[in-house]
Amino acid sequence: MFELGQLRCFVAVAEELHFGRAAARLNLTQPPLSRQIQLLEHALEVRLFERTSRSVTLTRAGQNFLPEARRLLRFADGAALAARRTARGEAGSINLGFTAASGYEFLPRLITSFRAVAPDVDLVLKEMVSADQIEALTAGRIDVGLIRPPFNRREFDSLCVVREPLILAVPADHPLASASKVRLSNLDRQPFITYSPYEARYFYDLLVTVFGEAGISPTYVQHISQIHSILGLVKAGLGLALVPAAAGNLHFEGVVLKDIEIAPARVVELHMAWRLANNNPAIATLTELIVRTQTR
């Protein structure tokens, strides 16, 4: 079987029609170049060139083989380039898990920025709650997860990618909708739509902490897992809710979002996590982009 080096020698001679010029182009001397052509002709069992002391011409077989040789070399060069780009994290794919709320603001920005720096890396997006993402990361079904803490797993590395405040969602006709300032004490005994302690445990625990520190007791009327569903119930007048600031991107008509005085430490966090043993080079490209963005 012939080798790529023999094809390169053949194409150089076919294009130059001169062994001396072809050898110089390949940084070879003529004897090894002639030997490569002989080996190729032997492997193909055809004569590729007619050679005299004054000229070199392609045989009919050589003429037909030339475009195929060029195509094979282009394919080989492309495959080598793809392998190098994949190794550098410039090509390939990342299976990216994300929570629904991360899709309100952070995920669209991340996709836009990542496509600009790594257009040949495909992001395969999978919406999952945080607990399912942790399981998928461990099993290798996703490469990276956008998840809520905590996730004390020794096999993970992580970055905090978002820290945002909680804001109050109220029906447009509620008295607090026109208030100049809202405090947590204003929520005491108010009908309140909170988070499910199972599907949305992070938000549930966060609100329990916030209300406990403030010494208030809203009246829970519903336990819901998704923020957009909570806002729909606020619009229907079932109660008030605390949601992350990114929920403002949903633009729910009939719902007013208000800043509320909460201890600065009680913010909503989103982390990007990946398994340390994952050798996908594109993960480094993604994390480096986030680090650069955060340090600007």
CATH number, domain with residue 119: 3.40.190.10
What pLDDT is attached to residue 170?
Answer: 97
Domain match, 134 and 273 both: yes
201 and 140 inside one domain: no
What are the pLDDT tens digits along the chain (296 aa)? 788 888 899 999 999 899 989 999 999 999 998 999 899 999 899 999 998 878 899 999 999 999 999 988 888 877 776 667 666 666 688 999 999 999 999 999 999 999 998 888 889 999 999 999 999 999 999 999 999 998 877 899 999 999 999 999 999 999 999 999 999 999 999 999 999 998 899 999 999 999 999 999 999 999 999 999 999 999 999 999 999 999 999 999 999 999 998 988 899 999 999 999 998 988 998 999 998 887 66
Residue 185 buriedness (CB in 10 A; 0-12 / 13-18 / 19+):
exposed
190 and 258 in a common domain: yes
Q: Which of 32, 56, 87 is the last residue of a domain?
A: 87
Overall number of domains in the chain: 3
Shared domain for 9 and 73, answered yes or no, is yes
* Rounded Cα distance, 173 and 254, in Å: 8
Same domain, 100 and 187: no
Asked if 113 and 158 sit in the same domain, the reply is yes
d(CA 92, CA 111): 15
Do residues 189 and 254 both lie within one domain? yes
What does residue 147 show for φ and ψ, rounded to 5 degrees? -130, 165
- What was the pLDDT predicted at 49? 92
pLDDT for the residue 219: 96
Same domain for 191 and 75? no
- Find where tokens 């080996």 sit: 39
The candidate with the shortest Cα–Cα distance to 142, out of 8, 6, 272, is: 272
Structural domain containing residue 127: 91-163+269-294
Shared-domain flag, residues 188 and 230: yes
Amino acid at 110: L
Q: Is the pTM of this model over 0.85?
A: no
Which token pair is 274? 């990946």
Domain boundary among 48, 68, 87: 87
Q: Which two tokens stand for residue 132?
A: 């399912």
Helices (H), 118-181: 130-139
Confidence at residue 81, expressed as pLDDT on a 0 to 100 scale:
67
List phi, psi (to 5°) of 80: -65, -40
The 166-171 sheet, strands edge to edge: 241-244, 166-171, 255-258
